[in-house]
Amino acid sequence: MRFLWISVRKDWSRVRRDPFSLATSLAIPLILAVMMSLVFGRGQAAPQGRLLVADEDSSVASNLLLGAFNRDPLDKMLLVEKVAQADGHARINRGDGSALLIIPAGFQEAFLGNRPFQLQLFTNPAQTILPQIVQESLSIMVDGAFYVQRVAGDQLRVVATRNAPPDELIASVSVSINHLVTSLRRYLYPLAMDLETVVVADRSESKSFAATFLPSMIFMALLMIANSLAFDIWRERLMGTLRRLAVSPAPLGAFLAARLIFVASVFALVALVGLVASRGLAGVPVPNLPAAVMWLTFAGSALFLMMLVVAVTASTARAASVMGNLIVFPLAMIGGCFFPFEWMPAWMARIGRLTPNGWAITQFQAILSGEIDARQLAVAVAGLTVVSAVMFMVALRRLRSGFLV
């Protein structure tokens, strides 16, 4: 036990002599939190686009059509801007806008007269979601206009005149509308069915971009730090520490256990700094900070042991560095560290969740969302402890057998 404490002190003494190494590890989550705050902000994630409109009709009907885009929820996703047709084409061609809608002259007269008419919509090929929203919204409006014509087309055609209608025409239209309502009474009253509306509160909160990226960014930092700390075993070998340890009565197991304790404390600091910074700078909620820190500490320690096995298996320090990078970057790409699983193809996300870091990210997301309880967390930690113990024994056997030769 005394040698274990001495080994831990040795690692922290190295950090005290070279504080830049620990500062680099702590700076990674801080930089990520600042970047998420600057890039994504603290608000909720919502697409923002610009709908360019060339309204050449300038009629009541065209204003009613555009008014639909100024109502909730479209007004939160699209900013409607009226432009000239030539300017609109130039802007949409250079990608300045999500879509260009052209309403030619004669739109209102064609609608009131029930004549064929064509609206022109040009979408930005560089965008996917917002142009589709505009297209679907216009499709719904066209369907609504069709049913208005089916129900009240005759009355609309009667009043389709630029002059003020005479009193006799107004009275005639009123009688026609009354007859229309009377003919529809058997469908409208009594109702063929009763509709009971129950409002269910949505318990799921929409996540901001920063909250979506937080697990990925945190585990990207853990992978990078784990690879760096695992490579440190080669520094111990090159400095002669391991050779002196091999001829001393101190057990290699105690030395490796002390190294693991030091690494776990580093990961605990990184997790605490990263989560606090993400909550304070990027506005990402962390409901259960102790559970999140504990999970990141255990997951980071397991990743360290995995990378340590890779490092001690290599024949040279250069080979260890190359092998570590060849493993870290594919794991980060597939395992949800570069992009969240929600943004990946379904087949890739299924594979990514089976990787060590992908599985750990999935559990971490459950902790952040409050969907994991203490028993589930304990089972996950126990499973991670078993895997870590196997990795520990493999690394220890390699240290005892051929790594020092």
Is residue 189 assigned to a domain? no
**Gap between the Cα atoms of 32 and 220, Å rounded:** 10
Q: How far is CA 320 from CA 230, 232, 315, 316, in A?
A: 9, 10, 7, 6
Residues 251 and 213 occupy one common structural domain:
yes
Residues 117 and 30 occupy one common structural domain:
no
Residues 337 and 389 occupy one common structural domain:
yes
Residues 136 and 231 occupy one common structural domain:
no
Strands (E), 72-124: 78-82, 99-103, 120-123
DSSP calls for 28-68: HHHHHHHHHHHHH-SS-----EEEEEEESS-SHHHHHHHHG
| pTM as predicted | 0.59
Half-sphere CA count of 249, side-chain side, radius 13 A: 1
**Gap between the Cα atoms of 287 and 304, Å rounded:** 27
Count CB atoms within 10 A of the CB of residue 362.
19
Query: Which residues, including other chains, have CB under 8 Å from residue 283's CB and lie 6 or more apart?
Result: 37, 42, 208, 210
Is residue 274 assigned to a domain? yes
Count up the domains in the chain and report the number: 2
Could you tell me how many helices (H) and strands (E) the chain has, helices first?
Answer: 17, 4
Residues 138 and 215 occupy one common structural domain:
no
Residues of the chain short of pLDDT 50, as ranges, are 45, 201-205
Last residue within a domain, chosen from 128, 162, 196: 162
**Gap between the Cα atoms of 251 and 262, Å rounded:** 17
Half-sphere CA count of 107, side-chain side, radius 13 A: 23
Residues 234 and 142 occupy one common structural domain:
no
Could you report the per-residue pLDDT of 246-288, keeping only the tens digit for each? 777 778 888 888 888 988 998 898 888 878 877 776 566 777 7
Residues 28 and 131 occupy one common structural domain:
no
Residues 35 and 55 occupy one common structural domain:
no
Could you report the per-residue pLDDT of 82-132, keeping only the tens digit for each? 889 899 888 888 888 888 998 888 887 787 777 788 888 888 887 777 888
CATH number, domain of 145, equals 3.40.1710.10
Last residue within a domain, chosen from 135, 162, 189: 162
Is residue 181 assigned to a domain? no
Residue-range definition of the domain harbouring residue 248: 2-6+14-43+208-403
